[in-house]
Amino acid sequence: MSDMRPECHHWSLQQSIGQEVYRDRRELIELTLKAVNKRRSLSRGKLDADDGKHCAMGCFWIDHPRALVKTRFIDEIARINDAKSDRETPKARWKRVQKWLRDELAALE
């Protein structure tokens, strides 16, 4: 179970039929970046915030609701997403996470 996003465990049990298993790091980062790029801000601390926004992994699962990913990847993305204080704006968080995802992709080439 994810330490950073414990709600993933409950969610994945509900979505267990017909899951797509993602193991390739590059593919996961690409899909997460595409999902984040569709939004203009990111929430902090939970997959789905009360205001209808999502963290980076929440964005990923909105676009890929049957995806099954390793807990290690969930926690890594959540740590990047939540790295700054509560005072960071959702837009600034979105820009920072986008940059990190792009840098990770470049490092994998």
Token duo for residue 26: 């590059």
The answer to whether the CB of 56 falls within 8 A of the CB of 81 is yes
Report pLDDT digits (tens) over 5-26. Answer: 556 654 444 454 556 777 789 9
Q: Whole-angstrom Cα distance, residue 4 to residue 38?
A: 23
Return all residues near 41 (Cβ < 8 A) that are at least 6 apart: 53, 89, 90, 91, 93, 94
pTM of the model: 0.83
User: Is residue 80 helix, strand or coil?
Assistant: helix
Report pLDDT digits (tens) over 75-97. Answer: 999 999 999 888 899 999 999 99
Q: Where are the domains of the chain?
A: 7-108
DSSP string for residues in 11-79: HHHHT-TTPEE---HHHHHHHHHHHHHTSS---SSSSB-TTS-B-HHHHHHHH-TTEE--HHHHHHHHH
The answer to whether the CB of 84 falls within 8 A of the CB of 94 is no
**What percentage of the chain reaches a pLDDT higher than 90?**
52
